[in-house]
Amino acid sequence: MTNTEKWQQAAKAFLARTRKELWGKAGPNTQVQLYHMGFSVNESLDALLGWNPHPMKRTSDKWGLTGDPLVLPPGIVVPWVKDTEIRRLSIYLCEGDRQGEICLVPGSDRGPRITGVDNPAVVVVAGDLAGLRVELAAAGRADLVVLPYADADAARDDAVRMRVQQADTCLVFGNEALCRNLEAATGRVLDKGREPIFTDDGVGNAGISLLNAWLSANSRTGLEAVM
């Protein structure tokens, strides 16, 4: 991560601009899309989500970076904010052949976002928007490991491996390569989320239904309920 003051200023300005777009005249269609993905208005507001309506090109210098200009595609802007600083900005693409793909704004933290260390149930999920949806649905019944991408190499991250090893039970929403690598790195068999959090048409139901069933059977709350 290039966590310079210049990057923070540019990231905060971009996020503020895209939040105005989401809640302005151009935003209702995206608000409806977020609703179908499972986010209420208040949840979208609390998560500081934004909307980038058009491709943007910015010089790298304005972001405290070097090299080629930044190309910021249209899509839903998802921040990871910690201690008042933006750690990561990701853009969830909503249209065209790349729908559902994730674009990380250069300079963002590429490490995992881990929400806790003591819950016996852990869910691994790829993508910050999917991670937010899972976090809201889990409602404290599991700790999360949120990866920026469905990257099989994430299994090599020490923080990811250690958190998965510490868990009593773990559910992974990701591609087969990620699941295999995590199992190889941790030496254990993991539960696999066979349904995506968001389908190709942008609806967030099937994966969350699977998550809730798994949590009912495996989370601390669920286990207490059947004892």
- Give residue 93's pLDDT band: very low, low, confident or very high (50, 70, 90): very high
Is the model's pLDDT at 18 over the cut of 50?
yes
- In single-letter form, the type of residue at position 95 comes to E
- Give residue 203's pLDDT band: very low, low, confident or very high (50, 70, 90): low
What is the pLDDT, as a whole number, of residue 205? 73
What is the pLDDT, as a whole number, of residue 222? 41
Per DSSP, 100 falls in state T
The residue ranking higher by pLDDT, 224 or 194, is 194
- Give residue 156's pLDDT band: very low, low, confident or very high (50, 70, 90): confident
Please give the C-alpha separations between residue 124 and each of 18, 20, 120, 128, 194, in angstroms, as whole numbers.
28, 31, 13, 11, 13
Please give the C-alpha separations between residue 21 and each of 14, 80, 101, in angstroms, as whole numbers.
11, 19, 21
Give the separation between CA 14 and CA 89, rounded to whole angstroms.
Answer: 10
HEC string for 136-179: HHHCCCCEEEEECCCCHHHHHCHHHHHHHHHCCEEEEECCHHHH
- Give tens-digit pLDDT for 25-75: 878 899 999 999 999 999 999 999 999 999 999 999 999 999 999 999 999
The residue ranking higher by pLDDT, 125 or 98, is 125
What domains sit in the chain, N to C, each tagged with a CATH number? Answer: 5-104 (3.90.980), 113-226 (3.40.50.11230)
What is the pLDDT, as a whole number, of residue 223? 37
Share of the chain above pLDDT 90, in %: 74
Both tokens of 53, joined, read: 């309506």
Mean pLDDT for 168-194 is 91
Strands of 121-126's sheet in order across = 113-114, 143-147, 121-126, 169-173, 191-192
- Give tens-digit pLDDT for 103-144: 999 999 999 999 999 999 999 999 999 999 999 999 999 999
Average pLDDT over the chain, rounded to an integer: 89
Is the model's pLDDT at 171 over the cut of 80?
yes
What is the pLDDT, as a whole number, of residue 45? 97
What is the pLDDT, as a whole number, of residue 149? 87
- Give residue 212's pLDDT band: very low, low, confident or very high (50, 70, 90): very high
